[in-house]
Structures are given as C-alpha cells and as structure tokens.
C-alpha cells in the first residue's frame, strides 16, 4: 500500500476502535481464566470434594468437551443473533456458572458448571476473533486481533497467581475454593456488562440488510463519510457475487475448500508445535528434571503473557507470515535443546554435579524461549489468519470447523504427550514437537498468505478469482 494512502486511512479511523478491541477481547480473558484455573486449584478441589485421580481428570477435561459443543453452537448463534450478542451470551454463561461454582454445589453439579464454562469458552474463542476481524480497520486488524490472544495469556497468568496466593494465605480448603470462584465471577460480570455496550459487527448488519444501523456503527469507527461509504461499497460489491448462492453450494465449492484446508492445518499446527505440552505439563516435565514447585510454572505463564505484547505491534508491522516463520524456527530449536537436556539428564540420573545443574537450567531456558516464540507468533497469528481468510457468507462454517480442530488437537496433545515420554523416554515428546515445527515451516512456504494491510473483501475477491492460497493476501495497490 502506498504510504500516503496508508496515512490517509490511519487518520480516518477513531481511537474508539481500541476500546472496542479491549472490551471484546475480555472474552479472551475469560478463556484464559478458565483454561488456567486448574493449574494451582486442583489440589484444593480434591480436598473439598475428596475425589480420586480419575474424577479429577474428568473435572479437568470436561472444559474441553464443553468448548467443542460451544464452538459447534457458535456458528448458529453468530449467524442468527450476531457476533456482539454471542459475546453477551458467553458473558452471561460465564457469570451464572461461576456463581453456581462459588456456591460449592455437589461434585456432579460442579462438573456440569465447568462443562458450561467450557461451552462459553467455545463461544468466545469463535466469536471474538471473528468480531474483531470484521470491526477493525484493515491497517490495525492484526493489532486488534492479537488482543484476544493477549487476554488469554493474561487470564492464564492472573488466575494461576491468584489461586497460588489464595491457597497459601487461606488454609481452609472450602473458603479458599469459594474465593477462587468469586475471583472468576468478578471478571465474568465485567465481561458481561462491558459487552452490552459493544456495537454490532457492521459486516453482519450489512449482511442482514440493516444498512442504516451499519452506517451508525461505522460512524463510531471512522472519522470521514468517505471512509464509511468505502467500507459499505466494498462489502456490497463482494457480497453481490455470492448473494444468490445457497450456503450448501458455497461450502462445497473449491474456493471454500481451499481456505478450509488452510485454516484447518493452521489450527492443527498451533497445537502440534507443542504449546499445551508445556502449559499443561510444565510442573510434571520440569519435575522430571528436578525443578519442582509452582514458581517455575508461574515463570512460564508470566513469559507467555509478557511476550504477547510485542505481537500487538508486529502483526501489522512485520506481517503474519514472517512472525510464523520466526516462531516455528525458534520453537524448533528450543524443542531440540530441551530434548537434549532431557536425554543428558536421563544419562546423569542420580548424579548431582555441575553438569546436571547445567542441563536442568538448559531445560528451563529452552521452555522459556519456546514460550516467548509461541506468544509472539503462533499464539495470536493462527486465530487472526483464520478470522480473515473465509468468504463472508461461509465464515461461520469455516470458523466453526477450524476452531473445533483447534480444540480437538488440544485434546490430542494433552492425552499423548506424557505417554510418549513414558514409552520412548523423556526426550521423545520435545523431539516429536520439533518435527512438527519443521513441517509447519514447509507448510508456511507453500500455502500460507500474507494478509496484513489488505481488506477482507480483497482477500475474498482474490480467492474467488482463483489465486493460489499463498497469494490471496496480495493487494492490487502494491
């Protein structure tokens, strides 16, 4: 894009777009809070409810099951009631289920509440990236989209730290667990109330024929009438090409299947590079290396949060594809070095020496560098690209499928990582994830487009005109 055109567009949009991004991304905060809740609260849950290991695993994993069902329903809710109202619905479910949990009901009801918390997480993980992509000016779409992943990492760190402090200060298990759930409730209410003040997605309004209301929303985002007219015109030109196409035909056409392949594989790799191997099992894997305690886990969660901040600027400055390349390379090297550390620590088992200490801290450093790289690349960028690539009329279907794939591979990684380590040795899982990082680099080279600075309508036009996947992000203004 010509620099003068870029500056013209930059001066057209209002600063309220950032407020919209922050409020809507609170869905990501609740996502992170619920995802990270277990890390330092499960011992308290086990004490209060006197549950065994299998019951604890069922309570932990039921969030992911709820997430899958929430994602399935999100395609329908987003199409029928819109993106904003879907976020309001998620906020209501977060609030009511957090309140029920805080009352410490029977264990069966507690599990049902956690299932519906997962259901709300599924709605949020679908709706927030979609809403941000459709609301943001194209020059800062990556920046606004990254807010979702940032809020997830903030939520994970904040809830882990809060639960650790609560459990250390309050020794009564029931009171401690109640306060943990009240902490969730406070943020749930904040999201629910804040989302009531969000505007509806202008593109969703235009798709429903509500042009006047869409124009009112766009007036809150753009300074000039010219910019508002441009947004409406671009959407209508693109939508007119498929307006008479039935949905079943749209999603069976080759152009949709092309981007569906792209979105599915991106979401697969976001998990197969191994992030949840570290996030979920850091206490266990670091324990294998003699590094125990909550402190190591909090360090990793803190790094995950802090290094998402650079992604807010870099997604629109460097571009999506360059960040993904960088992330894959650094993560691959980090996994290889952690595999080496595990292998050497196994050979030095039972021997305390300076060499043992070196490899322990090499492992912690490798995990830390891995988290840094993921936080600034695959963490936010996978969600951003998937929210950008689908044609508008088939966007709900595309986002439903790709988000379900993400949740599915969360389960695959969670259920296989430790088993692989036990079967083949502690070094095996990091080595496996290093291999997936390498495969992701090849995939990036041949299939992934650069989508920074181009409108959603241009991406759709390029797709419909038959461009290769890696070229659908090219703007004609270049």
Residue 13: φ, ψ to 5°: -90, 155
Higher pLDDT, 281 or 143: 143
State the Cα–Cα distance between residues 9 and 3, nearest whole angstrom: 10
Report the pLDDT value the prediction gives residue 7, as an integer from 0 to 100.
44
- Triad 65, 390, 139: Cα angle to 5°: 110
Q: How far apart are CA 458 and CA 462, in angstroms?
A: 6
Q: For residues 277 and 410, what is the distance between their CA atoms, to the nearest angstrom?
A: 9
The more confident residue out of 5 and 10 is 10
Query: Of 3-7, 227-231, 247-251, 270-274, which range is least confident?
Result: 3-7
Average model confidence (pLDDT) across the chain:
85
Helix (H, G, I), strand (E, B) or coil at 15: coil
Any residues with CB less than 8 A from the CB of 116 and at least 6 apart, and which? 66, 93, 97
Instruction: Tell me what pLDDT residue 148 has.
Output: 82
pLDDT the model gives residue 246? 61
Residue-wise over 59-87: b if at least 16 C-beta within 10 A, else e? bbbbbbbbbbbbbbbbbebbbeebbbbbb
Residue 192 is predicted with a pLDDT of 92
Q: What is the pTM of this model?
A: 0.80
Of 49-53, 402-406, 417-421, 464-468, least confident by mean pLDDT is 417-421
The per-residue pLDDT for 76 is: 86
Predicted confidence at residue 6, as pLDDT, reads 41
Is 8 a residue whose pLDDT tops 50? no
**pLDDT value of residue 399:** 87
Tens digits of per-residue pLDDT, 104-140? Answer: 999 999 999 999 999 998 898 888 888 888 887 877 8
Most distant CA pair in the chain: distance in Å? Answer: 74
- Which position has the higher pLDDT, 309 or 138? 309
Domains delineated in the chain: 1-198 (1.20.1250.20), 245-478 (1.20.1250.20)
pLDDT reported for residue 36 = 78
**Residues sharing a CB contact under 8 Å with residue 247, sequence separation 6 or more, in sequence order:** 393, 394, 397
Confidence at residue 340, expressed as pLDDT on a 0 to 100 scale: 94
Residue 3 banded pLDDT, cuts 50, 70, 90: very low
Asked if pLDDT for residue 478 goes beyond 50, the answer is no
Which of 32-36, 240-244, 468-472 reaches the highest mean pLDDT?
468-472
> How much is the average pLDDT of 388-400?
86
- Nearest CA-CA partner of 75 in 126, 31, 115, 125: 126
222 beta partners? 13
Facing residues of 13 across strands?
A: 222
User: For a pLDDT cut of 70, what percent of the chain falls above it?
Assistant: 90
Q: What is the pLDDT of residues 187-244, one digit of tens each?
A: 999 989 998 988 888 888 888 888 899 888 888 887 778 888 888 887 777 666 555 5
Alpha-carbon distance of 8 to 12, in angstroms, equals: 6
Structural contact between residues 359 and 384, judged by C-beta atoms closer than 8 angstroms: no
Residue 404 to residues 17, 73, 299, Cα–Cα distance (Å): 29, 11, 30
> How far does the chain reach from its first CA to its final CA, in angstroms?
5
pLDDT of residue 39: 67
């Amino acid at each position: 894009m010509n620099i003068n055109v870029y500056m013209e567009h930059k001066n057209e949009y209002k600063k309220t777009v950032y407020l919209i991004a922050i409020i809507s991304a609170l869905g990501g905060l609740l996502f992170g809070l619920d995802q990270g809740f277990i890390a330092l609260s499960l011992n308290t849950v086990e004490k209060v409810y006197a549950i065994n290991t299998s019951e604890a695993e069922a309570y932990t994993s039921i969030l992911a099951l709820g997430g899958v069902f929430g994602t399935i329903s999100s395609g329908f809710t987003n199409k029928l009631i819109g993106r904003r109202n879907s976020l309001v619905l998620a906020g209501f479910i977060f609030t009511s289920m957090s309140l029920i949990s805080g009352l410490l009901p029977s264990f069966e009801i507690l599990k049902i509440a956690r299932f519906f918390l997962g259901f709300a997480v599924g709605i949020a993980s679908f709706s927030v990236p979609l809403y941000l992509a459709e609301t943001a000016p194209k020059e800062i779409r990556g920046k606004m989209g990254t807010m979702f992943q940032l809020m997830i990492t903030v939520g994970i760190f904040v809830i882990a730290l809060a639960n650790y402090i609560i459990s250390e200060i309050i020794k009564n298990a029931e009171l401690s667990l109640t306060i943990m759930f009240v902490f969730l409730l406070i943020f749930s209410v904040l999201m629910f109330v804040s989302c009531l003040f969000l505007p509806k997605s202008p593109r969703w309004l235009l798709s429903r024929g509500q042009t006047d209301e869409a124009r009112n929303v766009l007036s809150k985002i753009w300074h000039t009438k010219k910019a508002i007219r441009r947004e409406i015109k671009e959407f209508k030109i693109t939508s007119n090409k498929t307006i008479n196409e039935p949905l079943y035909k749209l999603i069976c056409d080759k152009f949709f299947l092309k981007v569906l392949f792209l979105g599915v594989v991106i979401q697969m790799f976001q998990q197969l590079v191994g992030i949840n191997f570290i996030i979920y099992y850091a206490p266990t894997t670091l324990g294998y290396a003699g590094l125990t305690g909550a402190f190591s886990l909090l360090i990793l969660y803190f790094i995950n949060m802090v290094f998402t901040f650079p992604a807010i600027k870099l997604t629109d400055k460097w571009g999506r594809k360059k960040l993904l390349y960088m992330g894959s390379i650094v993560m691959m090297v980090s996994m290889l070095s952690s595999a080496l550390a595990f292998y050497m620590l196994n050979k030095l088992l039972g021997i305390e020496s300076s060499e043992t200490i070196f490899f322990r801290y090499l492992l912690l450093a490798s995990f830390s560098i891995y988290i840094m790289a993921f936080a600034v690349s695959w963490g936010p960028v996978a969600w951003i690209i998937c929210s950008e690539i689908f044609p508008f009329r088939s966007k709900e279907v595309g986002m439903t499928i790709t988000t379900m794939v993400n949740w599915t591979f969360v389960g695959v990684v969670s259920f296989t990582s430790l088993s692989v380590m036990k079967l083949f040795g502690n070094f095996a899982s990091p080595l496996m994830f290093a291999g997936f990082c390498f495969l992701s680099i090849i995939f990036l080279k041949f299939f992934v487009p650069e989508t920074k600075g181009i409108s959603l309508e241009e991406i759709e036009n390029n797709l419909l005109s038959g461009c290769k996947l890696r070229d659908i992000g090219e703007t004609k203004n270049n």
